[in-house]
Chains A and B, each alone.
Chain A
Amino acid sequence: MILINYFARYREQLNLGGEKLPLTDSLRTIEDVRRLLMARGELWSQVLGENNLMCALNQELCHPDRVIEDYDEIAFFPPVTGG
């Protein structure tokens, strides 16, 4: 099982703050998870297909090619705008 969080504009557009997914053999990296979610339809494909999408693994910024493990916490969000 992996936990996926969505923040800010993504959370609003997807109308979802987070969800849990079973970690199947086909999900090796964060990019695999993103591809799986994008296949849900036009909205998902549009939001998670943005080329400046940021992602985090266990609360640290990372590259989408990072390998994931069971019980990992993943997050997808638009570029940050704090400060």
Chain B
Amino acid sequence: MTVRVQREVFDVGRLIASLQANDPGVGAVVNFVGYVRDINQGEAVAGLFLEHYPGMTERSLQKIIDNARGRWPLRAVEIVHRIGPLSISEPIVFVGVSSPHRQAAFEACAFIMDYLKTDAPFWKREDVAGGARWVDARDSDRSAVERWADTSQEAAMQRVPA
């Protein structure tokens, strides 16, 4: 279970391999990679700067992982999030999970990514034609995370051994 916040680009292939390495109990690996897009809210974007809250960032990501592990039987989790200046098409974030079966891996990866969007202290500043602007949070990110709250009781019931 690793959390990394770094300026350097990451190696997606190596991260995916590490989620399964030396663990014969892994039957499924699911990952998400986020990239810098060239257009946001209809405006051409030349690049991004990512600010974060050192210390709290790592703690909040670790807490999200702990919550995910409480809901699904995960074998490994890797989160890498970049900070500082980023160019178009550069990878920003990697979230990868492994578990015995695919359903848990799919759900846990989406869960972690959804909470990262609403709870982890990162902020994007975009370079556009008129200068730099701070990116506004989206309501859709808030509603994405709410769906997990709705199913928490159901998920807890499912975890009770028959």
Binding site for B on A (CB under 8 A): 5, 7-9, 12, 52, 56, 59-61, 75, 77-83
Contact = CB atoms under 8 A, between A and B. Distances in A.
Interface residues of B, number: 28
Contacts, number: 75
A83 B137 contact: no
Interface of B: 34, 50-53, 55-56, 59-60, 63, 81, 92-93, 113, 116-125, 134-137
A78 B123 contact: yes
B146 to A, nearest CB: 15
A2 B34 CA distance: 37
In terms of DSSP, what is the predominant structure of the interface of chain B?
mixed
B122 A81 contact: yes
Contact of B123 (A8, A52, A59, A75): A8
B113 A80 contact: no
A82 to B, nearest CB: 3
